[in-house]
């Protein structure tokens, strides 16, 4: 049991800190996304002169917000789940079922990684956005589309790390160490 707790501790610490930073970046991203949409509404409907960049900027920010918040939602059990069966089962059987479902999730995420990397290294890597620019030493350059697609890679890799933490927690529960487990998120420790 000490070995499992020793493996869990660095993952929990990593997830606590990295996901906290990701949530704050996502909050900024959603605020900027709303601002970009409001700018577009003003220019489109008040001035009758829509801008080219706000919709693409909002999409860019939405992808990154999703990639950075999805691991936190997964860790907290915030995804849609049908838990009627596991709640009706005895506790030990429910823990084993949850372990099996986490293993299936890990397999799906493992399949997603090469797909995500394929998006940022393959054919799509050559494309640039149509309306977003960033400054360079030689003037302005279009933003590469892969900058958006990296959100998929980051989100998938973070979800794999969260999944491994949840797997270790589930194994500890199966072995009877549920009472020794710290809360999933540090913020939840004070909320309970």
Helix (H, G, I), strand (E, B) or coil at 127: coil
Question: How does residue 142 score in pLDDT terms, banded at 50, 70 and 90?
Answer: confident
Task: Judge whether residue 85 has pLDDT over 60.
Answer: yes
The length of the chain is 192
In this structure, of 60-64, 92-96, 182-186, the range with the lowest mean pLDDT score is: 182-186
DSSP state of 123: G
Q: What pLDDT does 186 receive?
A: 56
Here the tokens at position 82 are 């049908």
User: Alpha carbon of 72 to those of 101, 111, 170, 185: distances in Å?
Assistant: 18, 20, 17, 9
pTM of the model: 0.86
């Amino acid at each position: 049991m000490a070995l499992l707790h020793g493996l869990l501790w660095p993952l929990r610490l990593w997830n606590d800190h990295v996901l906290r930073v990701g949530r704050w970046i996502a909050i900024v991203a959603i605020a900027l996304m709303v601002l970009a949409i409001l700018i577009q509404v003003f220019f489109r409907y008040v001035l009758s002169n829509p801008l080219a960049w706000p919709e693409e900027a909002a999409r860019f920010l939405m992808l990154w917000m999703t990639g950075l918040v999805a691991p936190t939602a997964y860790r907290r059990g915030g995804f849609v789940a049908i838990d009627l069966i596991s709640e009706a089962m005895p506790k030990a059987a429910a823990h084993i079922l949850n372990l099996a479902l986490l293993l299936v999730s890990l397999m799906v995420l493992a399949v997603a990684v090469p797909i995500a990397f394929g998006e940022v290294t393959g054919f799509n890597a050559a494309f640039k956005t149509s309306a977003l620019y960033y400054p360079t030493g030689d003037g302005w350059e279009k933003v590469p589309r892969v900058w958006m697609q990296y959100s998929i890679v980051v989100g998938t890799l973070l979800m794999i790390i969260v999944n491994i933490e949840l797997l270790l927690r589930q194994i500890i529960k199966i072995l009877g160490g549920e009472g020794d487990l710290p809360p999933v998120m540090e913020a939840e420790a004070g909320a309970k």
